């Protein structure tokens, strides 16, 4: 969900692991040549979601990378299938108040440009929580963690998860 710390935690993970980083929003912005808010304004949410799906399709399964997605990526079932093929899905969660406060800091979130952003946010979060829960291989609550602490928690849990799988199997992390 927006405000969970996906980009910041992914940066810390890249620093600690040396893995490449892929940001789906950056791919989409580069295809359109404009910012996410401008994409939403000019083309609408549906076109943005289509571009997210296309960006996921272009990624290669088995290639180790830290992949950052937008919080709404789970709204399309095909995206869930694509994410699962790419690797381990990590859900960065936090309490609603923390998420909203973080997400509303910049003032440029298209889905919060409503008369009542708090209510819109709560509705989105409630819609998405079951979707995140269904897809997540790992969950990390970032409410009280720094980005570094969240990255360390993810790495620790990934190591435990990989020990429970076949020896020698490496697990790419999708930061959700």
Structural domains of the chain sorted by starting position, each given as residue range(s) with its CATH number in brackets: 6-175 (3.40.50.300)
Contact 142, 5 (CB under 8 A): yes
Average pLDDT, the chain: 90
E-assigned strand segments in the chain: 20-23, 65-68, 88-93, 138-141, 173-175
For range 68-96, the mean pLDDT: 95
User: Above 80 in pLDDT, residue 174?
Assistant: no
Confidence band of 170 (pLDDT split at 50, 70, 90): very low
**Alpha carbon distance, N-terminus to C-terminus of the chain:** 8
What's the confidence (pLDDT) of residue 176? 42
Reply yes or no on whether the pLDDT at 167 is more than 70. Answer: no
């Amino acid at each position: 969900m927006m405000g969970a710390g996906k980009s910041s935690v992914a940066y810390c993970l890249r620093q600690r692991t040396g893995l490449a980083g892929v940001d789906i929003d950056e791919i989409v912005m580069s295809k359109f040549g404009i910012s996410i808010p401008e994409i939403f304004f000019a083309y609408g949410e549906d076109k943005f979601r289509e571009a997210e799906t296309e960006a996921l399709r272009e990624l290669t399964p088995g290639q180790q990378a830290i992949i950052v997605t937008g919080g709404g990526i789970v709204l399309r079932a095909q995206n869930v299938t694509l994410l699962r093929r790419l690797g381990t899905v990590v859900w960065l969660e936090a309490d609603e108040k923390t998420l909203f406060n973080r997400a509303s800091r910049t003032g440029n979130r298209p889905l919060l440009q409503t008369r009542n952003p708090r209510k819109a946010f709560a509705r989105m979060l409630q819609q998405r929580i079951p979707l995140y829960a269904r897809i997540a291989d790992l969950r990390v609550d970032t409410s009280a963690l720094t980005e570094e602490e969240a990255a360390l928690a993810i790495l620790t849990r990934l190591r435990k998860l990989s020990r429970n799988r076949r020896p020698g199997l490496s697990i790419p992390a999708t930061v959700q």
